[in-house]
């Protein structure tokens, strides 16, 4: 199905707007903790020939899929050190930072083989579903399209904990677009897996969160049902934002609103974010992992169990040895798959 942008233009004002001066996350290395540099995870380099990585996904059997901006998805498997190209888009546009921007595996991928990609075309932005057929992605179905006034240079496609499809789109460099409910730009959208709008969406609109700048990752916390958004930027510092349901609204009209925004020292920019759930790093369970572009660090943010909107501390997992962190995902076995500018890494205990 195709989602069409409505003609009516509305104004959205957050009921709980974040502070104009967000708190700054401090980076601390503590050798006594499991996930810091001195006592940290083992880092294995899976590949060192990546080209302009935008996203990564991992499977139960240990394979890793890497999306590259020019329109290719490459696969690495534990049995083969060389990559295999499983998809090459023939309608992708890569001008001015556009291109293949995100890849996600369906929650039932192991049964259906369904994979989803988000990318720019000559007419706008598209989310397409493919089926993984013995190492080749085929049977394309276009599920969602939108035509912004300008081009998207950042977008994220993910599945939420309830199995819905989430699509986060940048604001086209226009702050007004973030708060305009007549535009899908600068929003996180919530969709069914076929691209249609869920019946429980307010006003049957796909808009789930407004006030998004350049989304580079999404993560859901099990406590308090918070959505964490990695917001990148070009001319301004990036942040990680936390959104929750606006409880002041009627249930039928409730959307999520950004209630807290955290910045980084020296104007650093997040390139990826993941909420850790797994057995490999027991001390990380429930923590937020953030990869940074300028300092090239990977941070672990300790979230306050008593206040789901609060970060209590942060520790350095990777210290910048491997380059800017472009993408990451928690693999089904609990290991962490991280893509830097040219390298694909696996972090294990």
Residue 8 has pLDDT above 50, yes or no: no
What pLDDT, on the 0 to 100 scale, is given for residue 251? Answer: 53
What pLDDT, on the 0 to 100 scale, is given for residue 31? Answer: 34
Span 13-36, mean pLDDT? 51
CA distance 281 to 206: 35
How many residues make up the chain in this entry?
Answer: 349
pLDDT (tens digit, 9 = 90+) per residue, 265-296?
A: 888 999 999 999 999 999 999 999 999 999 99
More confident residue, 149 or 165: 165
- Within 8 A by CB and 6+ apart from 207, the residues are 181, 184, 187, 188, 189, 190, 201, 255
The kind and range of the H/E element at 163 are none
Give the range with max mean pLDDT: 35-49, 54-68, 78-92, 260-274.
54-68
% of the chain surpassing 90 pLDDT = 71
**Can you name the residues that pair with 330 across neighbouring β-strands?**
336
What pLDDT, on the 0 to 100 scale, is given for residue 4? Answer: 32
pLDDT (tens digit, 9 = 90+) per residue, 109-146?
A: 999 999 999 999 999 999 999 999 988 999 999 999 99
- Taking the CA atoms of residue 35, residue 38, residue 44 and residue 48 in that order, the dihedral angle to the nearest 10 degrees is 110
What pLDDT, on the 0 to 100 scale, is given for residue 38? Answer: 43
Residue 9 has pLDDT above 50, yes or no: no
User: From the centroid of its chain, how far is CA 76?
Assistant: 21
% of the chain surpassing 70 pLDDT = 86
Asked whether the beta carbons of 289 and 303 are under 8 A apart, the reply is no
Residue 347 has pLDDT above 70, yes or no: yes
Span 4-15, mean pLDDT? 29
> What's 42-348's CATH class?
mainly beta
């Amino acid at each position: 199905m195709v989602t069409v942008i409505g003609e009516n233009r509305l104004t959205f004002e957050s009921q709980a707007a974040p502070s104009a001066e967000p708190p700054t996350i401090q980076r601390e290395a503590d050798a006594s903790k499991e996930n810091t540099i001195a006592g940290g995870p083992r880092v294995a380099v899976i590949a060192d020939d990546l080209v302009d990585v935008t996203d990564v996904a991992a499977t139960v059997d240990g394979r890793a899929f890497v999306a590259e901006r020019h329109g290719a998805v490459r696969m690495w498997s534990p049995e083969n050190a060389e990559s295999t190209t499983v998809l090459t888009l023939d309608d992708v546009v890569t001008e001015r930072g556009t291109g293949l921007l995100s890849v996600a595996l369906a929650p039932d991928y192991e049964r259906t083989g369904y994979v989803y990609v988000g990318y720019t075309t000559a007419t706008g932005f598209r989310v397409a579903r493919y089926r993984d057929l013995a190492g080749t992605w085929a049977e394309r179905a276009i599920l969602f399209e939108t035509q912004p006034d300008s081009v998207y240079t950042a977008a994220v496609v993910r599945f939420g904990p309830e199995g819905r499809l989430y699509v986060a789109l940048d604001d086209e460099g226009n702050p007004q677009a973030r708060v305009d409910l007549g535009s899908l730009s600068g929003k996180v959208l919530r969709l069914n897996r076929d691209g249609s709008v869920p019946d429980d969406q307010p006003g049957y609109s796909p808009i789930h969160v407004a006030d998004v700048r350049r989304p580079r990752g999404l993560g859901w916390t099990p406590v308090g049902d918070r959505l964490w958004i990695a917001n990148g930027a070009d001319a301004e510092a990036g942040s990680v934002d936390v959104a929750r349901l606006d409880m002041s609204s009627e249930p039928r009209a409730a959307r999520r609103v950004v209630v807290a925004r955290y910045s980084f020292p020296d104007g650093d920019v997040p390139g990826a974010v993941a909420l850790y759930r797994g057995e490999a790093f027991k001390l990380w369970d429930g923590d937020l992992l953030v990869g940074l572009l300028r300092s090239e660090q990977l941070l672990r943010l300790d979230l306050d169990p008593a206040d789901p909107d609060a970060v209590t501390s942060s520790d350095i997992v990777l210290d910048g040895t491997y380059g800017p962190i472009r993408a990451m995902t928690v693999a089904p076995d609990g290991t962490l798959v991280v893509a830097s500018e040219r390298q694909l890494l696996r972090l294990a205990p």
